[in-house]
Chains A and B, each alone.
Chain A
């Protein structure tokens, strides 16, 4: 009996596996939001993008038979919502937070409206690679079964980091996000750059949604996201607007999310709901621990409306 062989060692293993599985949506949404916020706008609509992306991916995968087509479609809807956000926000005296909340509700509403028929049927899932196939222990194999999207995310974080630090476009983006005065003086189009950044951010959030419905948990229902898009936005603040730190933070939150199921798998079931709340508690603790009334945040883009 391998389960008895592993015993309590199954917990860290399950957390590792869970961290990799559950972190993917956090990773994609936070990388997208990181990019958007670096350009000087907060898009709270990411939660809407995530949910709508999940629904779209599931529907398109079911109808076309190709999960990858579903992922692209999810990205496209995210991009559209991002475009809408950027278009509304370019007008004077429009508050990006308020628009974000409106779009979040809009995205969720649209997803629920069109998603009703897809709650029952089963759509083809995204493939995973079994990095643990060398082992006989099922827990190891389960933990190391890694989805291709996660690998994309793993590459995306350093790529974004490099784009932001060493390319013309990255420099422009950071300028626009940090000082629109400076951007104006340099002749950059502030609204144009922000629009592109918000659209890419929306695309990534949509892809994160596709992961939810097409891999883990792997079905479409209305309680699918339960606020993961919003947590990911908070996670960007915790990661101090750095893509690599977004990756680590996403893994941390994914691991926290896996705590409840991991404990349950070894038969420790009391307080199950309490452990399931770990990501939310962690969000609160981190937010309190990393803020101070005496000093401003470092690394925060100067144009963000929350810091102005």
Chain B
């Protein structure tokens, strides 16, 4: 039977059924009366915006969270699943969104670790042979002796999947397994899972936000919207547009904003043969050269762990380069505070709460980080002008719709989208000549994503030079004027957006 077959002979039976599941965190109702069925031997996609409750739902099924109400049936029998152990015993396996590999252990050790039970004394020679035979059944090739921390994100994801497959579960749940894979790798993984649903009667429940994957592989689809089930049933005849509408309902989505014709400005950022090491001392940025003009967005695509983080850290002053030359507006640049202010260079890094905020300072203080030493916001040179800072904060919070607008709140108590908006407000509300940004929309919902992309496009239209490092190809294709691919710390591909070839980029991202 081919993997593309839409129907499966096993689909009549129910492998997993969820009935009236409810879950609240404090006053927030995350799951509201969810009921759906996963058919045996089917490939079932679970869709929903960020914060729709997808992860919470599968974690309730796996016993990671305890549901407030409702029940889970496996093979039509009600099961009490209180922890992941119970779940494994009932034939459930799950690939989590965050990696659960032990970083200091080798791939081999990590795979043996998931055996159940782990042998009291381990015969490494035997285990190695056994795992090599099993791996031959899959399209994956992972070096078993490598430490997990030394693997690329895509390889880690594959090990996570292997870990579960070796346990031979009857039901496999995957939480966004393809987010760190190139399109080709994603197809490879999903194709194999699809085949196993047919040949081994595996039932797959997969969380994803990529319609392409849903359309190509899913038999059934369930859609969550703000904790409620919007649809559950066969995929047949649903178009991506219909799925998108089910996901967002009739919410208003801001459009990205048009790309205006802007005269290409002067060279704002000129990087020549930049080399930088990562935390463990290995070379992460391996001789990158690039030029960025005013009024353009240069997109850098790549699977995470290929030097993007280190590149951004060098530019934002969080890491010193080993060698190479960085010039901003023609002048040597060492990422000092004074140079950033003079060249109007700003940064919107990934995970802004960690990389661009002081979590336990309030909104006013966090908004003041770039300006507190400017004459307008100081008194007698050495003292802060609280009034001026407060007025500044109020203005920005209103303009960028940061919620809740309580100035005295610690920033770490804000939601991810609001932290992102606040940092964006701090970084691009003033005069900006050069903006460095990495995964600016990671983990944000539709509306917040659209809002931030619109801001970036507007900045570009104003003549700002934007370096956009992102793992989201759709985002890059939407925003970039030029696009480059980073792999192993080197730029492997560069093209104007009109000539960018998706297939070729995918191959370059995988290092081919």
Contacts and interface: CB of A to CB of B under 8 A. Distances in A.
Interface of A: 166-168, 171-172, 174-175, 178-179, 181-182, 184-187, 292, 294-296, 298-299, 301-302
6 contacts: A167-B120, A167-B122, A168-B118, A181-B100, A185-B84, A185-B96
Given A171-B118, A185-B96, A186-B114, A299 B104 contact: yes
Give me the 4 closest cross-chain CB pairs, A-B, nearest first: A295-B281, A187-B85, A185-B100, A168-B118
A175 B105 CA distance: 8
Contact of B104 (A168, A174, A184, A186): A174
A301 B149 CA distance: 12
Given A187-B83, A296-B280, A171 B112 contact: yes
A186 B104 CA distance: 16
A299 B104 CA distance: 7
A295 B279 contact: yes
Nearest to B114: A186
A267 B277 CA distance: 52
A294 B119 CA distance: 40
B130 to A, nearest CB: 16
Contacts, number: 67
Given A166-B124, A168-B120, A294-B320, A175 B281 contact: no
Please indicate which of the listed interface residues B88, B117, B277, B280 has the most CB atoms of chain A within 10 Å of its own CB: B280
A171 B109 CA distance: 8
Interface in B324-342: none
A302 B113 contact: no
A166 B122 contact: yes
Contacts of B113: 171, 175, 182, 186
Nearest to A38: B104
Contacts of B281: 292, 294-295
Nearest to B123: A166
B280 A181 contact: no
Contacts of B83: 187
A178 B105 contact: yes
Contacts of B103: 178-179, 302
B383 to A, nearest CB: 32
A298 B278 CA distance: 12
A167 B127 CA distance: 13
Contacts of A296: 279-280
Contacts of B84: 184-187
A294 B100 contact: no
Contact of A294 (B85, B96, B124, B277): B277
B398 interface: no
Contacts of B112: 171
A179 B102 contact: yes
Contacts of A168: 117-122
B98 A167 contact: no
B101 A182 contact: yes
Given A186-B84, A294-B277, A298-B280, 13 more contacts: A166-B124, A167-B122, A168-B117, A168-B120, A178-B102, A179-B101, A182-B101, A185-B84, A186-B100, A187-B88, A292-B281, A294-B320, A295-B280
A174 to B, nearest CB: 7
Interface string B256-284: 00000000000000000000011111000
Nearest to B276: A294
A186 B160 CA distance: 12
A178 B102 CA distance: 6
Contacts of B117: 168
Contacts of A299: 104
B98 A171 contact: no
Interface string B71-112: 000000000000111001000000010101111110001001
B128 to A, nearest CB: 13
B121 A174 contact: no
A181 B148 CA distance: 15
Nearest to A163: B121
A35 to B, nearest CB: 15
Contacts of B105: 171, 174-175, 178
Nearest to B120: A168
B89 to A, nearest CB: 10
A215 B272 CA distance: 65
B104 A166 contact: no
A196 to B, nearest CB: 16
A296 B281 CA distance: 8
Contacts of B114: 186
A175 B109 CA distance: 10
A301 B100 contact: no
A181 B100 CA distance: 6
B111 to A, nearest CB: 11
A162 to B, nearest CB: 9
Contacts of A166: 121-122, 124
A306 to B, nearest CB: 15
A301 B103 CA distance: 9
Given A171-B112, A171-B122, A182 B280 contact: no
A181 B99 CA distance: 9
Contacts of A301: 104
Nearest to A171: B113
A242 to B, nearest CB: 11
Contacts of B320: 294
Given A168-B120, A295-B281, A182 B100 contact: yes
A239 to B, nearest CB: 15
Please indicate which of the listed interface residues A179, A185, A295 has the most CB atoms of chain B within 10 Å of its own CB: A185
Contacts of A181: 98, 100
A295 B112 CA distance: 30
Please indicate which of the listed interface residues B104, B105, B109, B320 has the most CB atoms of chain A within 10 Å of its own CB: B104
A186 B114 CA distance: 7
A301 B104 CA distance: 7
A218 B117 CA distance: 47
Please indicate which of the listed interface residues A186, A292, A301 has the most CB atoms of chain B within 10 Å of its own CB: A186
A184 B62 CA distance: 12
A299 B113 CA distance: 19
B177 to A, nearest CB: 15
Contacts of B109: 171
B100 A295 contact: no
A168 B117 CA distance: 9
A295 B322 CA distance: 12
A93 to B, nearest CB: 14
Contacts of A187: 83-85, 88
Contacts of A167: 120-122
Contacts of A185: 84, 96, 100
A298 B280 CA distance: 7
B64 to A, nearest CB: 8
A301 B105 CA distance: 10
A174 B124 CA distance: 16
A302 B121 contact: no
A308 to B, nearest CB: 13
A192 to B, nearest CB: 14
A179 B103 CA distance: 8
Nearest to B63: A187
B201 to A, nearest CB: 25
